[in-house]
Structure 1
């Protein structure tokens, strides 16, 4: 304690001293409290005396004062104690600072939580106010809508335009005090804004005033809405009457097509399927049983049809007699190769067609229209005469009305001539014989007529019914007579067709054009093919994108007996397929898919028809047969087909050609990959490999061979296949020697002393040992000596020594036969 003049009073040293303590309470409150602290007195006994050492006011030994240091304590010990004391004080100061920092952090955390709780309470109050305002707004809107609906039901509905003007002219409704309060509670957002819940919804005022976001109802929609409101107010039914349909259901059907046949929304059909546990899209296929459940669920009737019934949409209508009109005849020119078929047609058309064919031979079916001097229109088909194009000639005969059989006067009847006669007879079409090359010195038309008798073709000069005309394609002799004969034959046939029906035709040829895609040469047989028609042809379908006639001009329509190139197919059809026009793309696609699946099933059934024994026998037979694999790419379908047929005829029991793949169009990387995997060359007929395919072939070492004449192709493949034949080994006898005496020679074995009785004995030749004319050993000579010298050969009448390789059983009197073998290469005929 101290008095008023500031002087210190007398007191004990080391007594109680004032201090402060920070107290913490709830909700982050703190308080500083003044307390008294007592210092502990430290007594250090003196060594040997037992008296306590003096201590300073801070409880420390007076180390700095030597007179007050306890007895017996050295300077080093005193220094160590001072350092320990200072370290303890520093540690206490750090702990005090850490405690103050933690206390401060706790206080800040409590303050933050308190602020968050207050903000949360404030937000809760605002949310409740908004919910209350929203409920009041919705209640007002509902009452307004009911009042307007009652007013609309009581009075005739005004025109939408008048209603719109009225709505624009009407003053805005006045806000009540409660509305203004609601606006204030919502932060001044306005009555229409209710926190985003009704964003995007169309109110009656918005619909009548054109909307705020540019969304407008159509006039028809407004009328339908008013009609529904009127019927509802009058107690009538709003729902339309359900239309029950007969839905044709095949074995499988696409979901979108099923919805189309039921006239239902695709989304509703997909939703029903999902409710049944089927997660499908509109482009997926479902089976008939599932589709039947869906059809019944939508209230329609099911008409089950088989897959084959899809082709019933192709109209097989019998034309009435009054609808039929005359049509141009279709004439096919047939005959042996190089007998002048194309040159004859060339002379009739006055156009050079032969020059455009590789090697001067026809390798495609050409279709042309010719107009005669009399104004008659004739359609000509020019077929190849080579043996490989049998199927092409067959197709030509099937779509034709008249066959002109061209026979060269200097060559008479040849194999393909006979084949053409058989095709014409099988197709049951009349024939006109054109004896060509009549201007040649070696021409003998009577021999042609006589040879035709052997094949039951009796011409008019031989008292028959078949017309025959002597013509020359070079000089033009007899061409008018030939056209006259054709016109006469066409007049007898009375050819007619109905041009006013869905088109039907035959594919003469098909190819894959790089720029135009799949292209089919079609001969229209019935009806008229128009641009835009949807058609199905074989396993393909399409829409007529464009048509070109035989002169390359674009045309819009093609009537009966008119040949045109059709663009717009989804794939390359087979030559000989029938083209039919249908109504919709869905029908065309369905028919094409059915035909494709039927063809696959047929091929699979043919493969499965073989028994296990047959498979094993075939595999065993194939072990001894060498195969030459090839890939074939051609410009048109007919050529590819002809090449494959020609390849199948090459070979015998030892070797054969196997076509791994044949197709139409340019050689691609895919073809090179297949060829590399199988070690096969790629044969291109009138096509070329594209740049990536050429690079790939160079890298992988695949051979690409290009051809434009089918003769060369067949000959080269025959030569390559001949290389797989094992060479024929021929044996040539060159001499005999008889054994006169047998010697034993050390290091050699038994040596026969022989006399060459016939021919010559050679060291390099093969030998047989005969005993009583029975072969007991066949091998080679180990040594052939004349006296003591090794020689290459010994002539007849001379003696020599012989030793066999690995054989010692030789006796006196045995005969040695000497022979040579040579290999002779074989070829395929």
Structure 2
């Protein structure tokens, strides 16, 4: 098609050229005829001049070139105007071609090819796209807008405006415009909450999927198991009761061990987990909890992870406060209770008294027509221990305890400590699945890979099944007692979970530290506690549970005037950083069942900081209470001595004013406190500096005698004033 168009254009140009030549020839002939008819000599036609040019040429080659050009291409009128021929005698004919004017159309300089030389010059035409645009402009046609895509936008709890716009594939200015319509002035880097982001996304036609940071924990715990995968598991039994009722001794008798001899002061201050084999050959897991009032949190943890609670009550002591608390924990956990009435071998044992006192707490034993199992035992004489184990096995059979061992393990941290040689050590009770060496585990805000598993006897194990207590080595830090433990598939998932939990912990700590605006009552309570004295402490313990119990006990000692402020509490030995912190905050350092490192001891001696060591919680609490009592302001009590009346006021040089008085009742002592009363109004309180009887200084003056008195830093005494004399006694207060 292009070739046809080119041929058509060439033929049109050739036709125009021929028409032009014919017109030029016709005009030349008419001009010649007119001149011949008039007899006027005129200029020769261009063609004639071109033919005559060689006769004047000195160089025949140039003339031949001009003649050939004239023969090949006849000159036109335009060529006559464009060219001037110079004729000079004896010189060749010179044809001068004018230079192209600047701005005129230039000849296109493309590649020199045969087609360009032989073919006619092609006119440049518009492209198809340009032609279409021109047609659309003429028709007033507007481009059709693309169809808007609706996207599903995932929204976290907070998001920046820029990120929201990117997720919606919208412009940031459009999002800001919507916010401005709602009355919010925002920048593109500002953070908005999920509710606001959802309104904006829905306004722009998108759907929203809300997610939370806590979604990283989704599927970590309590995934359901198929019924056919469940297998029987040993029962978890928690021994609970009041302090010194024989809980650990009873467990020792069952285990054939002697744990109680290793406890300081003969009381349990740790939570322990052990596994034994009952006479019927079935394993049973026991958890021993402290009975001291300070260890409430430990007892609550023991009740949460247990299947059966054995409530130990001494037959010679009856139901005590911690016994009632243990009953409440068992009820809160929804687990059955077996009452073990201990110490029946003592002469003053009264088991019936225990049964009747349990009725006051709504615990009705079988002998009294109830459903609670009970047995009379003696830990020292090992009486009825096999009967107790039979009752535990019976109760476990009724509960039908099952778990799936063929799955990733889940469990609970019973206790945690920092071992100097092994690092963080956590006592974990596996509740579901099987924990193996090499598993990646997460516990609270700590994670790690299991390096070793140790059973309750200290022997290494490769795995631990459901209801098995083991010590786990390999945590990155010491987890908190009560934290749930789970096995995850990779270290990346473990880091993600622990980073989220650590961030939550920091935010909660920051929220507690910030005084938020509250009600008027909150503001008044803050003002009330703002001026109280604080007793700063740095506490280090052997296990997490003991530190927790110490802090909880000390918090109960706080009053409006004085409070124990725990600056730092941790697990492990006392380090140099603990001493440095105590020195900076003027705090006391307390070690519970731990000792200071050598460097820490040297630093403490250099800084003059005393480190107090304890192994019994009673002594620790008593000493802290005594130290806090020393911060209490003493109570001031007045003791009235007597009254005196001013009869005359004397002005003595170098001494000042001296009041001549008569003691009306009681006695007046030098150095005692005095009040000056004028018209039944106290005008001055101070001390008696001078007391004279005649010219002599005396210590006291009795009623009925006259004396001279002078006050410290006060001279405005008048006749008729009454002087009241008294002593002030300070009475030391205690918590």
Q: TM-score range by the shorter chain?
A: 0.5 to 0.7
Kept in 1: contact 2:279–2:386 (CA 8 A): no
Q: C-alpha offsets along residues 423-453 of structure 1, whole Å, 9 cap, x if unaligned?
A: 1111111111222222223322233222222
Deviation digits for residues 577-600 of structure 1, max 9, x if unmatched? Answer: 111112222222222222222333
What's the counterpart of residue 485 of structure 2? 579
Verify: 1:627 aligned to 2:539, yes or no.
no
Aligned counterpart, 1:667:
574
Shift of 1:481: 2.6
**Number of the residue aligned with 1:677:** 584
Matched with 2:448 is 542
1:158-307 to 2 correspondence within 5 Å?
307=213
Out of 388-397 and 448-457, give the one that drifted further: 448-457
| Aligned mates of 2:378, 2:334 — CA distance in 1 | 28
Matches within 5 A, 1:564-643: 564-605=470-511, 607=513, 610-611=516-517, 620-643=527-550
User: Contact 2:355/2:364 (CA < 8 Å) preserved in 1?
Assistant: yes
- The Cα offsets for residues 201-233 of structure 1, whole Å up to 9 and x where unpaired, read as xxxxxxxxxxxxxxxxxxxxxxxxxxxxxxxxx
2:271 pairs with 1:365: yes
Q: In structure 1, what is the Cα distance between the partners aligned to 2:578 and 2:698?
A: 59
1:802 paired to 2:706: no
- 1:332-351 superposed matches below 5 A: 332-351=238-257
| 1:380 partnered with 2:286 | yes
* SS of 2:274 mapped into structure 1: strand
Give the CA deviation at 1:676. 1.1
2:556 maps to 1:649: yes
Q: Could you list the per-position Cα deviations for residues 245-268 of structure 1 after superposition, in whole angstroms to 9, with x for gaps in the alignment? A: xxx99999xxxxxxxxxxxxxxxx
TM-score, with structure 1 as normaliser: 0.60
1:557 matched to 2:463: yes
> How far off is 1:548 after superposition?
0.7
Q: For the residues of structure 2 that align with 1:591 and 1:813, how far apart are their CA atoms? A: 84
- After superposition, give the CA deviation of every residue in 1:678-714 in whole Å (9 maximum; x if it has no partner): 1112111111111111112122222211111111111
| Compared CA separation, residues 735 and 443, structure 1 to 2 (3 A) | farther
CA contact (8 A) 2:440 2:448 kept: yes
User: Are residues 1:409 and 2:319 paired?
Assistant: no
For the 8 Å contact 1:767–1:781, the answer to whether it is kept is: yes
* Cα displacement (A) at 1:622: 4.9
| Partner deviation per Cα, 1:566-625 (whole Å, 9 max, x = no partner) | 111111111111111122222222222222223333444555681399998777545411
Are 1:504 and 2:410 an aligned pair?
A: yes
* 1:432 aligned residue: 338
Residue equivalent to 1:786: 693
Q: Find the residue that maps to 2:480 and give its secondary structure.
A: coil
CA-to-partner distance for each residue in 1:144-170, whole Å, 9 max, x for gaps?
Answer: xxxxxxxxxxxxxxxxxxxxxxxxxxx
2-structure distance, mates of 1:767, 1:305: 75
Q: For 1:336-384, what per-residue CA distance to the aligned partner results, in whole angstroms no more than 9, with x for missing partners? A: 2112211111121121111111111111110011222222321111111
Alignment of 1:104-119 (within 5 A): none
Residues matched between the structures, number: 531
Are residues 1:736 and 2:640 paired? no
Separation in structure 2 between the aligned mates of residue 761 and residue 626 of structure 1, nearest angstrom:
38
The 8 Å contact of residues 736 and 816 in structure 1, kept in 2 or not, is answered as: yes
Question: Structure 1 407/753 Cα, relative in aligned 2: closer, same or farther at 3 Å?
Answer: same
Matched, 1:520 2:520: no
Partner of 2:177: none
SS at match of 1:694: helix
For residue 382 of structure 2, the aligned residue among 472, 476, 482 is 476
SS in 2 for 1:647: helix
SS in 1 for 2:318: coil
Counterpart of 1:334 in 2: which secondary structure? strand
SS in 1 for 2:574: coil
Shift of 1:741: 5.2
Which residue in the other structure is 1:183 paired with? none
* CA apart distance, 1:524: 0.8
- Counterpart of 1:700? 607
Note if 1:825 corresponds to 2:732. yes
Query: When the two structures are superposed, what TM-score results if normalisation uses the length of structure 2?
Result: 0.68
Q: 1:602 to 1:790 in 2, by over 3 A?
A: closer
Question: Structure 1, residues 407-434: CA drift from partner, whole Å, max 9, x if none?
Answer: 2222222222222111111111111122
Give the 3 Å change call, closer, same or farther, for CA 759–565 of structure 1 in structure 2: same
Structure 1 unaligned regions, length at least 5 = 1-247, 253-302
Kindly indicate whether the alpha-carbon contact (under 8 Å) linking 2:434 and 2:466 is maintained by their aligned counterparts in 1.
yes
Distance 1:419 1:640 in 2: 21
Query: Which stretch shifts more, 693-702 or 743-752?
Result: 743-752
Aligned to 1:688: 595
Q: Are residues 1:762 and 2:669 paired?
A: yes
Distance 1:641 1:316 in 2: 27
Contact 1:313–1:582 (8 Å) recurs in 2: no
1:249 and 1:554 map into 2 onto residues whose CA distance is 48
* Residues 534 and 542 in structure 1, CA contact (< 8 A), matched pair in contact too: yes
Between 392-401 and 758-767, report the one with greater CA deviation.
758-767
Q: Deviations over 1:445-488 (max 9, x none)?
A: 23322222222222223322222222222222232332222222
Q: Secondary structure at the match of 2:685?
A: strand
Tell me if structure 2 keeps the 8 A contact 1:769–1:817: yes
Distance 1:825 1:377 in 2: 58
2:318 equivalent to 1:443: no
1:310-349, aligned counterparts within 5 Å? Answer: 310-312=216-218, 314=220, 316-349=222-255
Higher relative contact order structure (alpha carbons within 8 Å, sequence separation ≥ 6) = 2
CA distance in 2, matches of 1:495, 1:550: 22
Alignment partners' CA distance in 2, 1:717 and 1:486: 42
Shift in CA distance, 808/502, structure 1 to aligned 2, threshold 3 Å:
closer
Aligned-partner Cα distance in 2 for 1:753–1:798: 11
Asked if the contact 2:221–2:410 (Cα under 8 Å) also holds between the matched residues in 1, the reply is no
